[in-house]
């Protein structure tokens, strides 16, 4: 394996007194040799080694890469004048220094050979990542295109109390704290050429990281991330990570093709369904199977409206990741001006556990969301998208999370009112109460509606009306003296309640 001078410097125990030129150049150095006497034919793949007294005033031409022992500031001036890239040591045992650099080159050669062997023998991803971790003597993780955990090295594991690793391990996603910290530096998921690693120096309470995005046909399909768990990371090592990524890429891409592409395939399919694309049911079933979902599973759809996205769509990836990470079995995607979360197997316990996290995110983004009614077929996606948007419209302005189920009675009433003449359908006692309220400036009809909506609970209805339960009891007795209706009969009770709601919605009350 070839190295650059930066990697060699990083691996040396005794650091040079002077560093000259761009030491983080391409990986081209494959060997170290003493400077040949009387020769001006130098290889650009070799770093040459010599004492200052054998260099000074003896050469007319110089190699591109050179290590000099002695010479100090004079040697530095020569390096700058001749545009030499390399290192200068004041006083160093030449034999030891030469041998140390040879050992560094040999170590990386052996590691590369071991990695290639593992790939040829189709070793497990864990074994491959363990070898990769040896290049840096630090923990390394493979994420997919949305930073979901694929696998990790068992070498150089983070401390058991490391909060970021515990979160990643438990959620199978990159730590939100790390994600937000990297996002703060504007380094996450920026388009880049294949194998363009970034060294991320984080704040003191975070481990430094280095990551390389894996691209295929200009689309990011995964990320290799090295975490500073055992030894300090250096920006010099980015070129090594570039090289390792290029070596393992084809193996990982073939091995995890369906995993890398499954989420993207789902997003594309869902956007197509919402856009009116005619989707074959066999293709729908096959695509859902990539993540072990099926057409007739239980689902819930959440539509999130974030005002900021309208002005800066470049932030959509950050938001999409954060919201998708809120629910354990979920696919997030962007449609029109909304982020949509399709939640799979939305049990009540799961949703109740996740809603506080969702509300906190919505508050931080000054956003709102609408929650559809639960449904049992992916083919209802279009209708449930409209339902989730309707929940946003019908919901109270001070609610971040707006559930359509809380407004179904109003929605049904609107549908009925829009389809036929509504007054003749209303219960006659409700019409009579409406006329009494208008003539006497009373509010009996709304009290009756609240009482019925609260399942005839005096306490709950009184609390909602901000009156004493005895006051409500008096109103109900008064209503009974004015009109005739049987609230013990479930069908009549429903008729009365719907009539109250409809008259309120169409503005009659």
User: How far is 275 from 385, CA to CA, in rounded Å?
Assistant: 11
Give the sheet arrangement for strand 18-20, strand by strand. 18-20, 85-89, 65-69, 46-51, 31-34
User: How far is 486 from 428, CA to CA, in rounded Å?
Assistant: 12
- Which is higher by pLDDT, 16 or 422? 16
User: How far is 272 from 100, CA to CA, in rounded Å?
Assistant: 59
pLDDT of residue 313: 59
- Which is higher by pLDDT, 57 or 328? 328
Confidence of residue 196 (pLDDT cuts 50, 70, 90): confident
DSSP E strands, 70-208: 85-89, 139-144, 149-152, 198-200
User: How far is 393 from 370, CA to CA, in rounded Å?
Assistant: 8
Mean pLDDT of 198-213: 83
Closest to 505 measured CA to CA, from 427, 456, 454, 449: 449
Dihedral angle of Cα 81, 84, 87, 90, to the nearest 10 degrees: -30
Question: By the 8 A CB rule, do 94 and 51 touch?
Answer: yes
pLDDT over 50 at 190, yes or no: no
pLDDT of residue 506: 75
3-state secondary structure at position 489: coil
pLDDT of residue 258: 57
Percent of the chain at pLDDT exceeding 70: 91
pLDDT of residue 18: 94
Confidence of residue 298 (pLDDT cuts 50, 70, 90): very high
Mean pLDDT of 107-129: 94
Q: How many Cα atoms within 13 Å fall on the side-chain side of residue 494?
A: 5
User: How far is 351 from 312, CA to CA, in rounded Å?
Assistant: 30
Tokens at 482, concatenated: 């004015």
Tokens at 416, concatenated: 């009925």
pLDDT of residue 152: 94
pLDDT of residue 187: 52
3-state secondary structure at position 143: strand
Confidence of residue 434 (pLDDT cuts 50, 70, 90): very high
pLDDT over 70 at 131, yes or no: yes
pLDDT over 80 at 482, yes or no: yes
Q: Which residue has the tokens 């399909």?
A: 221
Question: By the 8 A CB rule, do 341 and 327 touch?
Answer: yes
Confidence of residue 400 (pLDDT cuts 50, 70, 90): very high
Percent of the chain at pLDDT exceeding 90: 53
pLDDT of residue 191: 43
Confidence of residue 237 (pLDDT cuts 50, 70, 90): very high
CATH architecture of 420-505: Orthogonal Bundle (1.10)
| Range ranked top by mean pLDDT from 274-283, 291-300, 403-412 | 291-300
pLDDT of residue 208: 86
CATH 3.30.70.270 fits 260-408, yes or no: yes
User: How far is 451 from 472, CA to CA, in rounded Å?
Assistant: 9
Q: What is the DSSP string of 192-248?
A: --TT--EEE---TTS--EEEEEEEETTEEEEEEEEE-SSS---GGGHHHHHHHHHHH
pLDDT over 90 at 338, yes or no: no
Average pLDDT, the chain: 87
Confidence of residue 169 (pLDDT cuts 50, 70, 90): confident
State phi, psi for 328 to the nearest 5 degrees.
-75, -35
CATH architecture of 124-255: 2-Layer Sandwich (3.30)
Kind of pairing between the strands at 85-89 and 18-20: antiparallel
pLDDT of residue 226: 95
Mean pLDDT of 203-222: 78
pLDDT of residue 383: 93
Domain ranges of the chain: 5-106, 124-255, 260-408, 420-505
- Which is higher by pLDDT, 402 or 216? 402
- Give the pLDDT confidence of 31-81 residue by residue, as tens digits: 999 988 766 678 999 999 999 888 877 677 889 999 999 999 999 999 999
- Give the pLDDT confidence of 137-166 residue by residue, as tens digits: 999 999 887 788 889 999 999 988 888 898
User: How far is 163 from 425, CA to CA, in rounded Å?
Assistant: 61
Residues contacting residue 132 through CB under 8 Å, at least 6 positions apart: 115, 140, 153, 224, 244, 248
- Give the pLDDT confidence of 459-477 residue by residue, as tens digits: 999 999 999 999 999 999 9
DSSP E strands, 336-461: 338-344, 368-371, 401-403
Confidence of residue 188 (pLDDT cuts 50, 70, 90): very low
Confidence of residue 239 (pLDDT cuts 50, 70, 90): very high
Residues contacting residue 292 through CB under 8 Å, at least 6 positions apart: none
pLDDT over 70 at 342, yes or no: yes
- Which is higher by pLDDT, 337 or 361? 361
Question: By the 8 A CB rule, do 304 and 362 touch?
Answer: yes
């Amino acid at each position: 394996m070839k190295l650059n001078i930066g990697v060699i410097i990083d691996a040396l125990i005794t650091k040079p007194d002077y560093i000259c030129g761009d030491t983080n150049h391409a990986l081209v150095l494959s060997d170290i040799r003493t400077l040949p006497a009387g020769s001006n034919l130098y290889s650009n793949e070799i770093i040459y080694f010599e004492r200052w007294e054998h260099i000074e005033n003896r050469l007319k031409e110089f190699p591109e890469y050179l290590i000099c022992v002695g010479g100090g500031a004079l040697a530095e001036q020569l390096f700058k004048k001749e545009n030499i890239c390399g290192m200068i040591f004041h006083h160093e045992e030449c034999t030891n220094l030469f041998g140390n650099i040879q050992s560094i080159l040999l170590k990386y050669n052996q590691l590369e050979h071991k990695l290639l062997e593992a790939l040829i023998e189709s070793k497990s991803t864990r074994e491959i990542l363990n070898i990769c971790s040896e290049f840096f003597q630090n923990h390394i993780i493979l994420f997919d295109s949305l930073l979901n955990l694929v696998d990790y090295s068992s070498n150089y594991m983070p401390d058991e109390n490391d909060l970021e690793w515990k979160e990643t391990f438990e959620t199978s996603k990159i730590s939100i704290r790390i994600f937000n910290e990297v996002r703060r530096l504007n380094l996450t998921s920026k388009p880049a050429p294949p194998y363009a690693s970034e060294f991320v120096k984080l704040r003191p309470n975070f481990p430094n990281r280095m990551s390389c995005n894996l691209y295929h046909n200009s689309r990011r399909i995964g990320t290799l991330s090295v975490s500073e768990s055992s030894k300090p990371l250096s920006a010099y090592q980015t070129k090594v990570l570039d090289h390792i990524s290029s070596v393992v890429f084809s193996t990982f891409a073939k091995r995890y093709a369906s995993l890398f592409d499954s989420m993207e395939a789902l997003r594309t399919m869902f956007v197509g369904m919402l856009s009116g694309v005619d989707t074959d049911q066999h293709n729908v079933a096959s695509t859902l199977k990539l993540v072990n979902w099926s057409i007739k599973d239980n689902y819930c759809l959440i539509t999130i409206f974030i005002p900021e996205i309208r002005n800066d769509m470049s932030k959509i990836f950050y938001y999409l990741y954060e919201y998708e990470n809120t629910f354990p079995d979920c696919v997030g995607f962007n449609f029109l001006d909304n982020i949509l979360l399709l939640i799979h197997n939305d049990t009540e316990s799961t949703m109740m556990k996740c809603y506080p996290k969702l509300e906190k995110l919505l508050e931080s983004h000054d956003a709102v969301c609408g929650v559809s009614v639960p449904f049992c077929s992916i083919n209802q996606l279009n209708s449930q998208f409209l339902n989730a948007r309707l929940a946003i419209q019908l919901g109270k302005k001070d609610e971040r999370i707006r559930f359509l189920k809380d407004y179904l009675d109003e929605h049904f009433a609107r549908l009925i009112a829009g389809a036929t003449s509504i007054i003749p359908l209303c219960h006659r006692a409700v019409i009579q109460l409406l006329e009494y309220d208008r003539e006497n400036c009373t509010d009996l009809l709304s009290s009756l509606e609240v009482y019925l909506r609260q399942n005839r609970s005096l306490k709950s209805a009184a609390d909602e009306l901000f009156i004493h339960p005895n006051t409500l009891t008096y109103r109900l007795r008064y209503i009974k003296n004015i009109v005739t209706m049987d609230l013990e009969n479930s069908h009549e009770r429903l008729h009365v309640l719907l009539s109250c709601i409809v008259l309120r919605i169409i503005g009659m009350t």
